[in-house]
Structure 1
Amino acid sequence: MAHQLGQNQYGKAENRIVRVTRTGNRHEIRDLNVSVALSGDLDDVHLTGSNANCLPTDTTKNTVFAYAKKFGVQSPENFGILLARHFVDDTPPIHRARIRVEEYVWDRIEIPDNKARFIGSEEIGHSFVRRNTEVRTSEIVYDGTNVQVISGLKDLVVMNSTNSEFWGYIKDEYTTLKEAYDRILATQVTARWKFGFSGAEGEQEPNWDRSYQQVRKHMLEAFAETYSYSLQQTLYAMGTRVLNNRAEVDEVRLELPNKHHFLVDLEPFGLENDNEVYYAADRMYGLIEGTVHREGVTPVIPVA
């Protein structure tokens, strides 16, 4: 019985790329997930194993990064068109290219006019929060006498595109991590905070909605304004900022996975990467956890 090869395509899926455009201290972020699928004269690679017409998927991945550096990212559509035209027009065996682009939108963390909005002489413009990801949480325990309220949030994704370093750590025979003096710091915040409210007779309840918004605001401002030498330092600054500004909160527990962004080596393509093009890794990741509480308060929030 004769068999015939049908429709086929190949490429590199889910290339996670973050492009930072730096204009002084005010940065712009385009965070993309790019998938490439190519079709054309590819019968031989299936039927005989000949790779003569096959552009390696690793090359398509490299092209995505190189194009982000050379042309920037004006929009997902424009970037996809540039890539598709390149693969078809510059690779004769390829007749069709499908580029799928997902964009993760980041909003700038705005610092109020009455707060420190400048670093040196430049306005802060490198701190971002990812849109429409967070979930508000609450846990209430009542034992017949006392009420315990633990509020929180999860999946609050934030990023500083600069003002973060990591160096001076322990090094042994298994250490390969290079010291970083200007890096992206990004995390997906899970936070829980315990109120001093006990539900005693006559005790007034806090304004829960306002308290949530204010705690969130203070955590974001601390993240944006802290020049960080470690994610642990940022965690402590976020918890401390909440306790300093919200008298109703006694304890803050934070879980901060380090959402690593690695500079892409563009030297093989004759391009310099001046902290502009990054690979966004989702696994593995460092997980930083800690509690900040008022002096004399016994922490009660459990480790998740």
Structure 2
Amino acid sequence: MIILGPNRYGKAETRVVRVTRHGDAHHIKDVNVSTSLSGDMAEVHLSGDNSAVLATDTQKNTVHAFAKKHGVGAIEDFALLLARHFVDSQPTVHHARVAIEEYSWERNGDSGHSFVRSGRETRTCVAHYDGSQAWVVSGLTGLVVLNTTNSEFWGYIKDEYTTLPETRDRILATAVDAAWRHAAPDGDAFDKSYENARQALLAAFGGTYSLSLQQTLYAMGSRVLNDCPEICEVRLSLPNRHHFLVDLSPFGLDNEDEVYFAADRPYGLIEGAVLRDDAPAAGPAWE
């Protein structure tokens, strides 16, 4: 017997740049929105009956229209607004997932209308809504950080294939991908929460004397939970951006922790979750 399994459909990567003009002072929100819907959709797969389908082009148009009608504030609020609209306005749509990436811009000098693309990380969020309950995961990707000392790595398993020497002092660098789940998303001030979580990640990375990147991951997740009571779970993905001391002895030169080779691959990848022991059930939040 063959049956239809879980399914969803939507419009991926609708790019929106929303300009808000307050006299000579302009403001930019630059986002990439992906919508995905599911519900009473069996017949479109089984017989080609499209009567339950809200076209993906309509989803794209809704994103643009809502950017005009409602503006784009915190991306979590915009994602929830869209998700609730799709579910509450269409009887065949039972669940909406809206994912948004935000790209930051900075003012170019003193001009109110000139901008330069920021080198900051990309802010992210995913919002789910099923008609009665909402889930929101905020986060960031590509937050590049580096400590030039206060990192060691030793005491690990040695077997016949081990060549890595132990070290009591090394460069520790990574590009942080982090996501955090809100316990009660309807009550959060998302912009403030984002800045607090970001600062907690940076403070923990810079302030932890690291014996392993795993230890640093736990310290970073714990700092977010300690500093942000509205967050109940943090998930981190930390690629180890290896820096190897260059052997300059063939050239008659000493190299006392000054010149390194930065290797982009292969790289260690450390991943993990840190959560409160009383965290509410995740539902579909991480999907």
TM-score with structure 2 length normalisation? 0.57
Q: How does 1:217-256 map to 2 (within 5 A)?
A: 217-256=199-238
Q: 1:302: how far off? A: 7.6
Q: How does 1:131-210 map to 2 (within 5 A)?
A: 132-199=119-186, 205-210=187-192
Q: 1:303: how far off? A: 7.5
CA deviations over 1:164-207 (Å, ceiling 9, x no partner): 000000000000000011000000000000001154xxxxx211
CA deviations over 1:232-283 (Å, ceiling 9, x no partner): 0000000000111110000000000000000000111111111000000001
Unaligned runs of at least 5 residues, structure 1 = 1-130, 200-204
Q: How does 1:220-299 map to 2 (within 5 A)?
A: 220-297=202-279
What is the distance in 1 between the residues matched to 2:176 and 2:281? 20
Query: Quick one: which amino acid aligns to residue 243 of structure 1?
Result: L
Query: Quick one: which amino acid aligns to residue 174 of structure 2?
Result: T
Query: Quick one: which amino acid aligns to residue 265 of structure 1?
Result: D
User: Does structure 1 retain, via aligned residues, the 8 Å contact 2:145–2:175?
Assistant: yes
Residue identity over aligned pairs, in percent, reads: 59
User: Does structure 2 retain, via aligned residues, the 8 Å contact 1:251–1:299?
Assistant: no
Residue-pair matches, total:
169
Query: Quick one: which amino acid aligns to residue 259 of structure 2?
Result: V
**Helix, strand or coil at the partner of 1:151:** strand
Q: 1:154: how far off? A: 0.1
Query: Quick one: which amino acid aligns to residue 259 of structure 1?
Result: R
**Helix, strand or coil at the partner of 2:238:** strand
Measured at CA, do residues 144 and 161 of structure 1 come closer, stay the same or move farther in structure 2, by a change above 3 Å? same
CA deviations over 1:53-94 (Å, ceiling 9, x no partner): xxxxxxxxxxxxxxxxxxxxxxxxxxxxxxxxxxxxxxxxxx
CA deviations over 1:69-123 (Å, ceiling 9, x no partner): xxxxxxxxxxxxxxxxxxxxxxxxxxxxxxxxxxxxxxxxxxxxxxxxxxxxxxx
Measured at CA, do residues 278 and 299 of structure 1 come closer, stay the same or move farther in structure 2, by a change above 3 Å? farther
Structure with bigger gyration radius: 1
Query: Quick one: which amino acid aligns to residue 152 of structure 1?
Result: G
* Larger RCO (alpha carbons 8 Å, 6+ apart): 1
Q: 1:297: how far off? A: 2.1
TM-score with structure 1 length normalisation? 0.54
Q: How does 1:42-191 map to 2 (within 5 A)?
A: 132-191=119-178
What is the distance in 2 between the residues matched to 1:175 and 1:252? 32
Measured at CA, do residues 257 and 298 of structure 1 come closer, stay the same or move farther in structure 2, by a change above 3 Å? farther
